[in-house]
């Protein structure tokens, strides 16, 4: 197949050629000085991206592995925890905490709803939760929560906020220290523009203290075992050295762009995507607001099965977008606009969707989505 491919799913995301090349360098030994220098620089860059002075631990594992490390290190059997869930990834936190036999309470919203800080405060107080798990960007719905307010509400209720920032870190503002986020979990394969396989946890002093008390069994994901790597750059287990080299290069690119610029770019991409979709007469499932700038979930018109749109985009145009989960699968598709992405990726996605809709006999003025998206992008970046 000579066809050109476009990866527009909300993760893994397209990786810049420079980053792929960095990951294809000859393998270096993980206990040698070359790797130590690389690892320490990478951790420093992660601290900058997370905007924290807290310790940052890097795992060779996908984001769910870093999730699990947060549960295993913070939660002992019987501990009361609150999982805020409004989508697939919130559900994963609840399942994880159940696997570790926590006393798991849920603050459950319909998929697509935006969690509210007041609800979190009330539910954390009512349940006596010691830890609150919150998803920043719920990739399954496109909702980005107000983590600053939710973290404050958690602390007000005496609970430690643990934030899933897998798809948000580097795309939308996240202030680990300024917002008092005790633990932030993220992955390499979203806005950090790196292949999947690495994940990150930031650990505040209070979280280190809690980890000392956790009785849950753990080894590979044991935070304490990784602590020495913060000073020495040497990990207890062989790390994915080629992915660390890739991540280091990608973080360098992100910091060179500047985080504030990256946040504005993602907000503008999100707005362009939403305006273009609306211009075609499509209804949004994800919120029509600047904060939800990671992935746009779009409902298909009545009578058009979203699964067929996803399939046709891939088979006919080489474009990979994501479908909806479970019962949402026939109703919506999701365009990720995360990381190594610009407005012409948005117009490509919209043009392809338009093309399919016109074929289906939809009443769409050809070109309108692309034109509107470009306008919206220009407006957004010039604001």
Residues near its own copies, by CB under 8 A: 5, 7, 9, 11-15, 20-21, 23-32, 60-65, 67-68, 71-72, 95-96, 99-101, 187, 189, 195-197, 216-222, 236-243, 314, 320, 322
**253-256: Cβ within 8 A, 24+ apart:** 253/16, 253/18, 253/19, 253/193, 254/49, 254/170, 254/191, 254/192, 254/193, 255/45, 255/48, 255/49
Indicate the residue among 252 and 281 with the shorter CB distance to its own copies: 252
Please, what is the minimum distance in Å from the beta carbon of residue 188 to its own copies? 9
Q: Which is nearer to its own copies, 13 or 52 (CB)?
A: 13
CB of 43 to its own copies, least distance (A): 18
What is the smallest separation between the CB atom of 180 and its own copies, expressed in angstroms?
27
Closest contact distance (angstroms) between CB of 231 and its own copies is: 20
Please report, for residues 83, 195, 199, 210, 231, the alpha-carbon distance to residue 36 in angstroms, rounded to integers and kept in the order given: 37, 21, 18, 28, 10
Task: Decide whether 23 or 142 has the Cβ nearer to its own copies.
Answer: 23
Query: Which is nearest to 75 in space by CA: 214, 168, 182, 174?
Result: 214
Q: Which is nearer to its own copies, 67 or 317 (CB)?
A: 67
The least CB distance from residue 161 to its own copies, in Å, is 21
83, burial (CB in 10 Å: exposed 0-12, middle 13-18, buried 19+): buried
Full strand arrangement of the beta sheet holding 332-336: 283-284, 295-299, 332-336, 322-323
Q: What length is written for the chain? A: 383
Pick 197 or 276: Cβ nearer its own copies: 197
């Amino acid at each position: 197949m000579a066809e050109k491919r476009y990866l527009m799913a909300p993760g893994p995301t397209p990786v810049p050629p420079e980053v792929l090349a960095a990951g294809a360098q000859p393998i270096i030994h993980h206990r040698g000085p070359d790797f130590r220098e690389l690892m320490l620089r990478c951790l420093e860059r992660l601290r900058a991206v997370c905007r924290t002075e807290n310790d940052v631990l890097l795992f060779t594992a996908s984001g769910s592995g870093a999730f699990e490390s947060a549960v295993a290190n913070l939660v002992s059997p019987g501990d009361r925890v609150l999982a805020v869930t409004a989508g697939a990834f919130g559900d994963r936190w609840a399942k994880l905490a159940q696997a570790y036999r926590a006393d798991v309470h849920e603050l459950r919203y319909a998929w697509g709803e935006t969690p509210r800080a007041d609800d979190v405060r009330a539910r954390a107080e009512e349940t006596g939760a010691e830890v609150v798990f919150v998803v920043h960007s719920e990739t399954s719905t496109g909702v980005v929560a107000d983590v600053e307010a939710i973290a404050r509400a958690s602390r007000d209720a005496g609970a430690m906020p643990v934030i899933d920032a897998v798809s948000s870190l580097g795309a939308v503002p996240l202030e680990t220290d300024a917002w008092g986020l005790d633990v932030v979990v993220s992955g390499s394969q979203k806005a950090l523009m790196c292949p999947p396989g690495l994940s990150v946890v930031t650990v505040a002093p209070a979280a280190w203290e809690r980890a000392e008390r956790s009785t849950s069994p753990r080894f590979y994901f044991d935070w304490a075992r990784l602590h020495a790597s913060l000073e020495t750059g040497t990990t207890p287990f062989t790390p994915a050295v080629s992915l660390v080299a890739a991540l280091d290069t990608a973080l360098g690119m992100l910091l060179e762009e500047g985080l504030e610029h990256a946040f504005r770019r993602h907000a503008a991409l999100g707005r362009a995507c939403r305006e273009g979709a609306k211009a075609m007469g499509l209804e949004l499932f994800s919120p029509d607001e600047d904060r939800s700038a990671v992935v746009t979930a779009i409902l298909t018109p009545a009578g058009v099965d979203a699964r067929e749109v996803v399939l046709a985009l891939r088979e006919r145009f080489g474009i990979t977008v994501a479908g909806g989960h479970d019962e949402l699968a026939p109703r919506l598709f999701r365009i990720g606009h995360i990381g190594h992405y610009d407005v012409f990726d948005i117009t490509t996605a919209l043009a392809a969707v338009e093309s399919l809709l016109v074929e289906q006999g939809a009443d769409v003025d050809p070109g309108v989505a692309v034109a509107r998206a470009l306008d919206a992008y220009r407006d957004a970046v010039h604001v």
